[in-house]
Amino acid sequence: MNFLDLCKALRREAGIAGTGPGSVENQTGKMLDIVQWTADAYKEICAMRPAWKFLRTFKTFVTADGDTNEYDIEDDLLITDLARFDEDATRIYLDSTADQTRLDWFDWRKFRDRYNVFPEGRPTVITRVRAGDTIALNRTPDDAYTLTLDYWKIAPALAVNADTPLIPERFHMVIVWYAVMNYAGNEITPEIYSHAKSKYGPLMSSLMLDQGDLPTGLRTFPTTRVR
């Protein structure tokens, strides 16, 4: 289901009179509300857990030889959608993955206290610097090493008709039911809210079981209960 399909499903399941919307763009009144409820529902669901499988991806990056130990996340790594790195899954190798080893993550304060100079060599430790827009290695690479950084991305907003949620399609109705709950709460229609919640709860539980991604290092992250 794309964004427009989700909006149509919301109108239908909420029992809102009329047809449409015919587009998610340039809407007013109730149709604009439908579009906004749907977009907000998707955004809120994506934010409910710190680590969804459908938001997980990775980036490979080749270091400069003897140039610097710091790299800008957007300009050098070309990562523009970063939510959080998976600190359990950062690897480095020189010629092939047969040589691959893990990079240990230090928080910035520990890294700063431990390392004052950065001799050339194979890096073994990585950190996210200061405001978070740069990574730093404990050694200045003495060769062109390949780094593989797993991370969770920020889900792009639903904006145009053809935009499709990153959530697997078999779970797309969880967006609709969540949006119906928000609609019903706003319109004070308890019967519709109760029905939507009865549909949303089991589907959200299934989504969490299927797509929840909580590696060892993230077990202290907060989780969100099904409403």
Across the chain, mean pLDDT equals 90
pTM: 0.83
Q: Point out which residues pair with 57 in neighbouring strands.
A: 151
CB-based contacts of 40: which residues, under 8 Å, 6+ apart? Answer: 179, 182
**pLDDT for 219:** 40
Please give the Cα distance from 147 to 145 (Å, whole number).
6
Where b means 16+ CB within 10 Å and e means fewer, 65-87 reads eeeebebebeeebebeebbbbbb
Domain ranges for the chain: 3-51+167-215, 53-153
For tokens 């480095």, what's the residue?
Answer: 92
**pLDDT for 215:** 56
CB 103 within 8 A of CB 123: yes
223 vs 203, which has greater pLDDT?
Answer: 203
165-191: pLDDT as tens digits: 999 999 999 999 999 999 998 888 899
CB 53 within 8 A of CB 208: no
**pLDDT for 214:** 65
CB-based contacts of 76: which residues, under 8 Å, 6+ apart? Answer: 61
Specify the range with the lowest mean pLDDT, choosing from 17-21, 23-27, 88-92.
17-21
**pLDDT for 19:** 86
Longest dimension (CA), the chain: 69
CB 102 within 8 A of CB 86: no
pLDDT exceeds cutoff 60 at 225: no
Closest CA to 177 of 50, 41, 2, 77: 41
Residue type, 60: T
3-state SS assignment for residue 82: strand
